[in-house]
């Protein structure tokens, strides 16, 4: 009841749990706050697409290795990004004809759950798609292919388009990505808008900060001040109504009680340190698989699985749904020892593995889940690499080590590791085969070379 006196211990209990389950929502909401500052599509720090709310920007090549806005980037696809602010306007999303090229648009709500299936694996047709907020009852304009309903007012759209490592393919992909766009419904005229994304201006000079972690998006000292606005943006899931009422009541009580307010901040800082930070490590969560690999079986479809939602948000936010991309995580070698650039490793895939309808990659990340700078500027290997050398039986061995292999035959298959530093490996199976989705196929061991 309003006005009821509550204890500090109770407020701390509610705060600790609320900080954990709402962390991904506050994370994404603060990205909306950052995008609101954009005056026009541009490149933040010269490396990341940034655009005003309800619009998007595309890169024109792989993401640069020094970006720090999103953990676990990849150099398999050309990325785009746009923030949905559906409380301001429904938006129109352009989908060109990609032909046989792999592509997928990730559409997630404030909770980082996917709310629409748009991609090659879904048989999505080219056209104009209208994204609308919860409770929308308007009429869609003529020429709209389909209406997509987002369950929250804030969301994010992340197009991904496959590109191999050649300059020729980069030139080929420019026309396709130039036809990807998103804009408020008032700008829709039934005609396809085009862009030359290679001409995006840089908002400020690039400031490399390799070796550091992801840009901070959640601030414990501001968390409970922001949370009421964030929860207003995301109507409760079925069964969450009481959870919302409980935390909002505690926040209201703390407004006029400095002791409770201080307790909420203290508990948020403690939860960030003891609950959230350990989830950066892949071995802390997920479905255990043979050879110490782990995976997420409900990526972008978390529902009320608050643990996995927050674990993914901390370690590698904005994963695709399992039918779009299956992810496998590894911190350890086949003996259960932490991967470290002081040792050398090999991983051998049998002929035809990983089994995918799209493509696959193996990426190496440092302990903060970002690329490791190396002299050959190679951060992953996979389908995009046309010069990988298979073994005589058709299998493929990738060599993971800090120093260039002395055996020339291994150099095409070399994935550079940080000298003397811990690192992680990460497999992406794009448009995975049913055997991957169902768990019949799992990755081979990462063997330390003695």
Q: Does residue 260 lie in a domain region?
A: yes
372 touches 418 (CB < 8 A): yes
At 242, is the secondary structure helix, strand, or coil?
helix
Q: Residue 144: its pLDDT value, please?
A: 98
- In the 8-state DSSP scheme, what is residue 438? T
H/E element, 145:
strand 144-149
Q: Does residue 3 lie in a domain region?
A: no
Quick one: which of 73, 60, 74 has its CA closest to 167? 60
In sequence order, the 6+-apart residues with CB closer than 8 A to the CB of 362 are 347, 380, 381, 382, 398, 415, 425, 426, 427
306 and 264 in a common domain: no
50 and 164 in a common domain: yes
Question: Which of 141, 167, 199 is at the close of a domain?
Answer: 199
Quick one: which of 141, 130, 62, 69 has its CA closest to 94? 130
184 and 81 in a common domain: yes
**Structural domains of the chain, count:** 3
Sign of CA dihedral 384, 192, 324, 328: positive
Structure token digits, residue 447: 């063997």
299 and 263 in a common domain: no
Question: Which of 167, 199, 231 is at the close of a domain?
Answer: 199
| Longest Cα separation, the chain | 76
Q: Does residue 35 lie in a domain region?
A: no
| Cα 87 from Cα 24, distance rounded (Å) | 20
- Looking up tokens 């768990």, which residue turns up? 439
Q: Does residue 440 lie in a domain region?
A: yes
Domain limits at 90? 42-199
CATH value at residue 77: 2.60.40.1610
138 and 104 in a common domain: yes
| Cα 173 from Cα 159, distance rounded (Å) | 13
148 touches 133 (CB < 8 A): no
- Looking up tokens 């794009």, which residue turns up? 430
Structure token digits, residue 355: 């089994």
311 and 162 in a common domain: no
303 and 174 in a common domain: no
187 and 75 in a common domain: yes
372 and 307 in a common domain: yes
Quick one: which of 83, 51, 45 has its CA closest to 65? 45
Q: Does residue 206 lie in a domain region?
A: no
CA 317 to chain centre: 4
Structure token digits, residue 379: 């951060």
Structure token digits, residue 282: 């892949």
- The end-to-end CA distance of the chain, in Å, is 66
CATH value at residue 372: 2.60.120.600
89 and 18 in a common domain: no
184 and 165 in a common domain: yes
Q: Does residue 248 lie in a domain region?
A: yes
Tell me the average confidence (pLDDT) per consecutive run of 10 residues in the chain, 450 residues long.
90 98 98 95 90 98 92 96 98 98 98 98 98 95 98 98 97 97 98 96 63 88 98 96 97 96 98 98 97 97 97 97 97 98 98 97 97 95 96 97 92 97 98 97 96
Q: Residue 205: its pLDDT value, please?
A: 53
Q: Does residue 305 lie in a domain region?
A: yes
| Cα 239 from Cα 99, distance rounded (Å) | 43
| Cα 186 from Cα 130, distance rounded (Å) | 12
| Cα 23 from Cα 9, distance rounded (Å) | 21
Q: Does residue 71 lie in a domain region?
A: yes
218 touches 27 (CB < 8 A): yes
Beta strands across the sheet bearing 356-366:
287-288, 294-295, 325-330, 423-432, 356-366, 380-382
255 and 110 in a common domain: no
Question: Which of 199, 229, 262 is at the close of a domain?
Answer: 199
């Amino acid at each position: 009841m309003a006005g009821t006196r509550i204890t500090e211990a109770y407020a701390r209990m509610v705060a600790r749990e609320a900080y954990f389950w709402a962390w991904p929502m506050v994370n994404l909401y603060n990205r909306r706050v950052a995008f609101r500052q954009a005056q026009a599509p541009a490149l933040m720090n010269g490396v990341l697409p940034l655009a005003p709310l309800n619009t998007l920007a595309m890169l024109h090549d792989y993401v640069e290795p020094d970006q720090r806005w999103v953990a676990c980037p990849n150099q398999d696809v050309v990325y785009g990004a746009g923030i949905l602010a559906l409380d301001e306007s429904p938006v129109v999303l352009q989908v060109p004809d990609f032909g046989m090229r792999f592509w997928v648009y990730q559409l997630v709500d404030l909770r980082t759950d996917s709310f629409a299936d748009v991609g090659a694996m879904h048989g999505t047709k080219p056209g104009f798609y209208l994204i609308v907020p919860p409770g929308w009852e308007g009429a869609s304009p003529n020429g709209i292919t389909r209406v997509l309903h987002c369950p929250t007012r804030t969301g994010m759209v992340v197009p991904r388009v496959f590109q191999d490592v050649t300059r020729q393919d980069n030139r080929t992909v420019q026309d396709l990505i130039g036809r990807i766009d998103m804009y408020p419904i008032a700008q829709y005229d039934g005609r396809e808008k085009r862009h030359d994304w290679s001409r995006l201006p840089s908002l400020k000079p690039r400031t490399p900060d390799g070796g550091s972690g992801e840009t901070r998006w959640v601030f414990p000292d501001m968390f409970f001040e922001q949370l009421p606005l964030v929860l207003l943006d995301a109507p409760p899931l079925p069964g969450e109504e009481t959870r919302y009422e409980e935390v909002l009541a505690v926040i209201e009580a703390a407004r006029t009680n400095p002791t409770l307010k201080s307790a909420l901040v203290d508990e948020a800082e403690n939860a960030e340190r003891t609950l959230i930070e350990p989830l950066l490590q892949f071995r802390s969560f997920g479905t255990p698989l043979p050879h110490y690999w782990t995976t997420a079986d409900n990526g972008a479809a978390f529902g009320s699985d608050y643990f996995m939602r927050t674990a993914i948000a901390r370690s590698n936010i904005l994963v695709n749904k399992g039918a779009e991309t299956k992810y496998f995580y590894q911190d350890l070698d086949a003996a259960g020892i932490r991967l470290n650039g002081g040792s050398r490793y090999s991983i051998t895939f049998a002929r035809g593995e990983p089994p995918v309808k799209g493509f696959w990659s193996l990426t190496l990340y440092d302990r903060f889940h970002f690329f490791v700078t190396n002299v050959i500027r190679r951060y992953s290997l996979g389908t995009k690499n046309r010069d990988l050398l298979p073994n005589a039986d058709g299998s493929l061995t990738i060599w993971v080590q800090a120093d260039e292999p002395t055996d020339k035959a291994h150099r095409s298959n070399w994935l550079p590791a940080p000298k003397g530093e811990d690192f992680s490996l990460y497999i992406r199976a794009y448009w995975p085969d049913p055997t991957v989705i169902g768990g019949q196929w799992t990755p081979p061991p990462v063997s330390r070379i003695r």
